[in-house]
Amino acid sequence: MPVIKVKPGQKVKLNQIDADDTGPYKSKKEAKKQLKKNIARMAELQNVLYAEDKHALLIVLQAMDAGGKDGTIRRIMSGVNPQGVRVTSFKKPTPEELAHDFLWRIHKAVPQRGMIGIFNRSHYEDVLVVRVHNLVPPSVWKKRYDHINHFEKLLVDSGVTILKFYLHISKDEQKRRMEARLEQPHKRWKFNPDDLKERELWDDYMEAFETAFERCSTDYAPWYIIPANNKWYRNLVISEIIVDTLEGLNMQYPQPVANLDGIVIE
Ligand code: ATP
Ligand code: MG
């Protein structure tokens, strides 16, 4: 599947990556069966993840507004046991959060062993929105790429597998999705006029994303750039990467606590 897994130090130009790409697939119909299979497989793998209680999986989702973070979570996790998943949405930091280092609130939300954790936005906001809006001086945010890499290494060394997905939509697609939010009654509640201001800063955001990928895609916690104009392709690719990653952990159900042979339940 022609999806970009950013190599450490690789410079990416987002405007050269086709957000409409659907790889070898021509239609949603073609991809449907595979997506269904992946979702079912993910449920099985989550069950072993939980039973084995050795690894955790952390999925980081970042995107521009209307990029599809919510929809991805809804679809991809539709088959898994809700007890084994925890989604954390990172909003504007509270005064208490701001009184700590930027990773304080993030660390608390990292999934424990046996669990899948999903970050809807993440510590990357601290080098994205924060950089674009000058919320802290450059001397502060520039150090954060190293801080993030060290933090993620700590997590990986502690048994957390990290996958980071950037849902890549085009500026035109964002326009279409925002218009749909204005026009369709059941989507209107999602329309946030503030998002229009961020849209004006599109190029600044792209630059901030590109730096984050270059500096913080590591062999232990890679960034994937997912063509996301087509929701079905986005879901297929992400589910595929999650399944492959979980399979790569070679997880095993634990041995029963005692020899169970010959036990008869009266
Ligand atoms: P929705 O799809 O529901 O709009 P959302 O993730 O955009 O989801 P919002 O409540 O609209 O949720 O937005 C959260 C806002 O918080 C975003 O504008 C984001 O940039 C901002 N934010 C998140 N983390 C930080 C941070 N560390 N510093 C400043 N702003 C942040
Ligand atoms: Mg929003």
Specify the number of domains making up the chain: 1
90 lines ligand 1 (CB under 6 A): yes
Of 119, 120, 125, 149, nearest in space to 221 by CA: 149
Within a domain: residue 87? Answer: yes
Among protein residues, the one with the nearest Cα to ligand 1's atom 20 is 129
Within a domain: residue 75? Answer: yes
Please report which helix (H) or strand (E) contains residue 105, including its range.
helix 104-109
Neighbours of 22 (CB within 10 A): 21
Task: Please say whether the beta carbons of 60 and 119 come within 8 A.
Answer: yes
Distance from C-alpha of 159 to C-alpha of 165, rounded to nearest angstrom: 20
Closest ligand 1 atom number to CA of residue 65: 7
Within a domain: residue 261? Answer: no
126 lines ligand 1 (CB under 6 A): yes
CA 126 to centroid of chain Cα atoms: 16
CA angle 92, 166, 25 (to 5 degrees): 145
Has residue 2 got a pLDDT over 70? no
Closest ligand 1 atom number to CA of residue 133: 29
Q: What is the pLDDT of residue 117?
A: 98
Q: Express each pLDDT in 81-138 by its tens digit.
A: 999 999 999 999 999 999 999 999 999 999 999 999 999 999 999 999 999 999 999 9
Q: Express each pLDDT in 129-182 by its tens digit.
A: 999 999 999 999 999 999 999 999 999 999 999 999 999 999 999 999 999 999
Within a domain: residue 244? Answer: yes
* Residue 41 alpha carbon to ligand 1 centre in Å: 32
How would DSSP label each residue in 79-93? TS-GGGEEEEE--SP
Within a domain: residue 60? Answer: yes
* Residue 195 alpha carbon to ligand 1 centre in Å: 10
Q: Express each pLDDT in 19-45 by its tens digit.
A: 999 999 999 999 999 999 999 999 999
In the DSSP assignment, the letter for residue 5 is E
> String of b and e for 127-148 (b: at least 16 CB within 10 Å)?
bbbbbbeeeeeeeebeebeebb
Q: Which two tokens stand for residue 107?
A: 């660390």
Among protein residues, the one with the nearest Cα to ligand 1's atom 13 is 91
Has residue 56 got a pLDDT over 80? yes
Give the CATH number for residue 23. 3.40.50.300
CA 46 to centroid of chain Cα atoms: 17
Within a domain: residue 258? Answer: no
Average pLDDT for 204-220:
98
* Residue 32 alpha carbon to ligand 2 centre in Å: 29
Within a domain: residue 232? Answer: yes
33 lines ligand 1 (CB under 6 A): no
205 lines ligand 1 (CB under 6 A): no
Sequence-distant (≥ 6) Cβ neighbours of residue 124 within 8 angstroms: 60, 62, 148, 164, 212, 216
Ligand number with the minimum distance to the CA of 73: 1
Residue 225 is part of which domain span? 4-248
Residue with tokens 């005064």: 95
* Residue 181 alpha carbon to ligand 1 centre in Å: 17
* Residue 34 alpha carbon to ligand 2 centre in Å: 30
Q: Which two tokens stand for residue 112?
A: 């424990």
* Residue 90 alpha carbon to ligand 2 centre in Å: 11
Residue 2 to residues 25, 153, 238, Cα–Cα distance (Å): 11, 27, 12
Within a domain: residue 253? Answer: no
Of 164, 161, 129, nearest in space to 144 by CA: 129
192 lines ligand 1 (CB under 6 A): yes
